[in-house]
Amino acid sequence: MERVILHSDCNCFYASVEMLHHPELDGKPLAVGGDPEQRHGIILTANYIAKRAGVKTGTALWQARQACPGLIIVPPRMDLYFRFSEAAREIYREYSDRVEPYGLDECWIDCTQSRECLGSGPDLAKEISARIKRELGITVSIGVSWNKVYAKFGSDYKKPDAITVIDRDNYREIVWRSPVGDLLFVGSATKRKLLRCGILTIGDLAEADPLFLQALFGKMGLVLSVFARGEDQTPVAADRSEASVKSIGNSTTTPRDLTTGQDVRMVVYMLAESVASRLREHGFVGDVIEIYVRDGDLCGFSRQHKVDMPTNISEEIAQEALRLFGENYTWEKPVRSIGVRVSHLMAEDHPYQLSLFSDPLQREKQLRADIAVDEIRSRFGFQAVRRGLMHVDTKLSEDDAQTHVVHPHGYFERGNRTGV
């Protein structure tokens, strides 16, 4: 039985959710981005009106405003986007028990077993698209194919609010005639190499000698060959088989450069509280803690360490982050930005081995204190309760550190069936 795979991609996800909460901005160019006064000057996403004016994800705010003088920029609200993401997945789960997230706004859905009772792949795509629009107020683009790679290609092929079916009859006309850079995992560097070899389209890549591609890219060359030919058999992961994201992190470019350990301590605790709160909100713990640091010249490093027990306790995250910072930063230059991330996520009720060197009662007290703080902040705002440390420099602690970054699982983490 040939598989039926859907890939659903929420169109301009962050911006679309914000448009729902700002109906007065309907018809105007809108982008989600940072605060230029706090030196958080990057566009995260934009609506299609802004994109048509030249606003691109990842550009500086000043560049976006030059491209689109009337651009309206709103700050990100990751907690809101998480809720919409989960609501979309709840709809997908009504059609399959195999729903694999690829970030907050994308999911693969394996409908192979459900098509006999629920309908064909295109019919299911139409129904899902209509429900997302009706129940959530946003739109999705959906690709339908017999493998994950072509399904994702289909969701990118037409936007917004579109359904593209790529089957055995049309894939050569749709996929193979498209630029090689449109294929999953063909990044800018890979694309440049392929173009230099005269491989301009996905069809050129599909017809290239796999051994030649292996000589160029190693094993990844064979993978790209399989992807281009539509022979990928990588499965769609079973729903809820693990955390839907690989890590949750938060970083900040501080309003002024950090010049002392006290400065760093304040920012790290602010970030750790924010990350720990998100972990608890979504029922995760993690046992790998990472920091990333940049100085005034934008040079820096990242370091990570696996802790003895998985955690979502702010004190434990902050202490480990500060230890990593202290052991690795030499203070040759002031610090411009810091990030804290927790990865190797698992459900908070997942069993784990206790450590002989930890105090379970103390950990329980710290967790209860964090939960109490969460409740207060949810009712009265982030600034309603703060550590005394935050009052040392109110300029540094004005930012509530709510701009989160979530990292999707890699394509092959749940099993590679490409046969290479």
* Residues that are catalytic: 106
| DSSP code, position 354 | P
The side-by-side arrangement of strands in the sheet containing 99-101 is 99-101, 106-110, 5-10, 140-145, 163-165
84, 17 contact by CB (below 8 A): yes
Helix H or strand E encompassing 44: strand 43-46
In angstroms, the CA 106 to CA 9 distance is 4
Identify any residues that bridge with 302 across adjacent strands, giving them in sequence order.
Answer: 292
Cα diameter, the chain: 67
In angstroms, the CA 415 to CA 362 distance is 39
**Rg of the chain (C-alpha set):** 23
309, 287 contact by CB (below 8 A): yes
Helix H or strand E encompassing 268: helix 261-281
Question: What DSSP letter does each residue of 214-253 carry, written as one string?
Answer: HHHHTHHHHHHHHHHHT---PPPPPTTSS-SSSEEEEEEE
Task: Report residue 235 as tokens.
Answer: 């499965």
| Three-state secondary structure call for residue 395 | coil
Q: Taking the alpha carbons of 159, 163, 167, 169 in that order, is the dihedral positive or negative?
A: negative
Task: Report residue 106 as tokens.
Answer: 């994308």
Nearest one of 367, 365, 369, 402 to 387, comparing CA atoms:
369
Q: Is 110 exposed, middle or buried (0-12, 13-18, 19+ CB in 10 A)?
A: buried
Cβ neighbours of residue 106 closer than 8 Å, sequence gap 6 or more: 7, 8, 9, 10, 152, 155, 408
**Residue type present at position 7:** H
336, 295 contact by CB (below 8 A): yes
Note the helical H segments in 282-383: 314-328, 360-380
